[in-house]
Amino acid sequence: MEHLSSTLSLPNGTVLKNRLAKSAMSENLSDATHAPTQTLIRAYERWAAGGAGLLITGNVMIDAKAIGEPQNVVVENKKDFALLQAWAATVKDTGTHLWPQLNHPGRQAIGVINKDTVAPSAVALKITGGNSLFQMPRALTEPEIYDLIEKFGNTAAILQAAGFTGVQIHAAHGYLISQFLSPITNQRKDQWGGSLANRAKFVVAVYRKIRERVGNDFPIGIKINSADFQRGGFTEEESLEVIKILSAEAIDLIEISGGTYERAAMMGASKKKSTVAREAYFIDYIEKARQITQTPLMLTGGFRTVSVMENAIAMGKLDVVGMARPYAIYPNIARDILTGKVKEITTPVITTGIKMLDKMRSVDLIWYELQIKRIGEGKMPDFKMSALRALAHISWLSFRKAFRKN
């Protein structure tokens, strides 16, 4: 595992101890006030001991008025600072980096848990059978756009002060930043919409604001879609252009993914036969990205065979191997890979038979979240957990949150 165990220097001089990263997984483990819980912190204690070079947290919300899931952590002030410090301290003396992922869901905010849904434009989400879960968003005003940019910077600064070692901007998967990039969801006629340069203004402004607040020594990464995989949406060519723009801004690490709630490509929901053969869903794209940027690239989605990961790094196609689901059931997976104990990983795909839920891969996602909860409780994974149990869990959390909202 010569290549996977080698160090990586990021543009600002930060060094990752190896090439394995836990990609973001929404843990859904905050308390009712959206503060981190001890279960969440203990899950990170176990991951920190598990050998990865980089742990990216599940998406942390920058605005309490817009949350993706009922128990997302929200950081917009210092009310939970001691807990954030305890969370950041989980990687102390391990040499592992811990970067919170910063997010705003935009129109992908479940209706029952949010009073007001905002997006670049008033374009409703279209999920067969699932439209009732999301409300019609209203278009952000310009002052609101500037306020959200400030909020991203503010959250990053608080997390830096708490001791986290970097941050990642979530610009993928159809959430707010990704909505600004897509011509389907961004139909604005002002400086934030229209040409790609205009649609990319929001992500650049968010990056610059964070950089201004955290300084040059603090690593900032981004997760971006290779494409939305929708007719008329954000294309591969546009994504490559955005990578050029962000590279010129000296961003430290670009993670490649793809898809939205309407097309869950990030979870392998629509992979082609050729992609199955090559394992990693977005490998063809990253090879193109490699040609146009020197910025370190991380690829996430589908990696399961250690020799495929090692070869991808050896051939210089990418710099960091990102995985999500394997870490939810095997907290020591990075160490087991690096010591040669594990050569291949199997991760179940959980389905319900309910088309809309399976298309969004939502129950699959909750099943893995519940496995993360078990990690935080010091338990072993429960491979026998049913899809129904996962469905009942998210329904209960949403109901309780909706009750508190009103």
Ligand X SMILES: Cc1cc2nc3c(=O)[nH]c(=O)nc-3n(C[C@H](O)[C@H](O)[C@H](O)COP(=O)(O)O)c2cc1C
List residues near ligand X by CB under 6 A.
23-26, 58-59, 101, 170, 172-173, 223, 257, 266-267, 300-303, 323-325, 365, 368-369
Q: Which is nearer to ligand X, 16 or 188 (CB)?
A: 16
Q: Which is nearer to ligand X, 68 or 193 (CB)?
A: 68
Q: Which residues of 322-346 are buried (b: 16+ CB within 10 A; e: fewer)?
A: bbbbbbbbbbbbbbbbbeeebeebe
Output the smallest distance, CB 337 to ligand X, in A. 13
Output the smallest distance, CB 28 to ligand X, in A. 8
Output the smallest distance, CB 266 to ligand X, in A. 4
Structure tokens belonging to residue 1: 């595992």
Nearest-angstrom CA–CA distance, 202 and 210 = 12
Output the smallest distance, CB 259 to ligand X, in A. 9
Nearest-angstrom CA–CA distance, 77 and 75 = 6
Those residues whose C-beta lies under 8 Å from the C-beta of residue 170, and which sit 6 or more positions away, are 24, 59, 101, 102, 103, 177, 223
Q: Which is nearer to ligand X, 101 or 230 (CB)?
A: 101
The single-letter code of the amino acid at 154 is: N
Q: What is the 3-state secondary structure (H, E, C) of 50-109?
A: CCCCEEEEEEEECCCCCCCCCCCCECCCCCCHHHHHHHHHHHCCCCCEEEEEEECCCCCC
Output the smallest distance, CB 13 to ligand X, in A. 25
Nearest-angstrom CA–CA distance, 221 and 75 = 18
Output the smallest distance, CB 90 to ligand X, in A. 18
The single-letter code of the amino acid at 191 is: Q
Q: Which is nearer to ligand X, 221 or 296 (CB)?
A: 221
Q: Which is nearer to ligand X, 193 or 358 (CB)?
A: 358
Q: Which is nearer to ligand X, 107 or 188 (CB)?
A: 107
What distances in angstroms separate CA 27 from CA 7, 228, 257, one per listed residue? Answer: 28, 24, 19
Output the smallest distance, CB 72 to ligand X, in A. 8
Q: Which is nearer to ligand X, 62 or 193 (CB)?
A: 62
